[in-house]
Structure 1
Amino acid sequence: MEQVFSELTFWHWLALGLILFGIEMMSGTFDLLMVAIAAWLTAGFAYFAPDAWTVWQGQMIVFGVASTALVVFGRTVLSGVRKSSPEHPTLNRRMQALVGERGLAVGDFVSGTGQISVGDTVWRAEAIEGETIHGGDTIIVDGAKMTTAMVRKAAP
């Protein structure tokens, strides 16, 4: 077994880092990224350090210390990076993005439903609480139900 380890070169560490990085890209755990970086740091150590230090035991110590330190660093200091948060809470939720917007009723609402114009788009709408809305009335979007805006008359 010692013969296998005694032939470790910086190429082995570079390859290990690439393999771990590839697995990280498929799994997204973030921990393997830190271990891959530790393998690349060990490759740098194996390439630049004096030959007396780069025996396999020295390389394993550097890899162990670097990977442990980087995983702890990633789990503590960089813990916020792991949390996925949407860039914008209403991204790809067009109806939710309308809430709070002002617009105009395109025509009279019949049985509480009609159409509104917000910006340059016409939307299907429903009046809240049985309000009577006529064409040209200014409205405010209070909510959304599937693809229908829930609206009320704006105060004059």
Structure 2
Amino acid sequence: MPEFTQDAEIRWWAGGAGPRISYPTHSEVIVYAQSEVAKLTRLPRGWDGAEGRAVHTAVANLAVTVIRAVSRGDGLATPQFSPLPDGGLNIVWLVNGDELTIAFDDGELTFRGYWADGREAFDYQLAASESPTSGQRRLAAALDDSRIFLEKISAGVRHQLISR
């Protein structure tokens, strides 16, 4: 597991041993995502004060696969994870008001990108009931648009928030 500490003066994430500035690599972000998503699969029933269920294992596995496909490079913004009451999951990358959201909810997979000024960059809603050919093409397009959008919005990232 990578260790990062935050330099309080310059607010960059640096490796634990010294003051060198370092961004998490792609593989470190994947390890982080696996760890965070795994925690959400162990939520207790009713975690939301109602009937909330833990993130489904199949959703968790698909989420890590999607993150791996979308965040291919080093130094990209890191995702934030939010469980949904039905066992689904939201993954969000926020950078200076720009937002990439990937949601796994009620048998749908949604990819949305929004610029800070509110303009929509793209919006894909994929249902499990789509034909395999159409679904594969739209999924490939959604992954490509998400990857390109994440690379663009990550250009100004000065630090990543990776917790231990």
Q: TM-score range, shorter-chain basis?
A: under 0.3
Higher relative contact order (CA 8 A, sep 6+): 2
What's the TM-score once normalised by structure 2's chain length?
Answer: 0.25
Flag the structure with higher strand content: 2
Structure with greater helix share of residues: 1
Larger Rg: 1
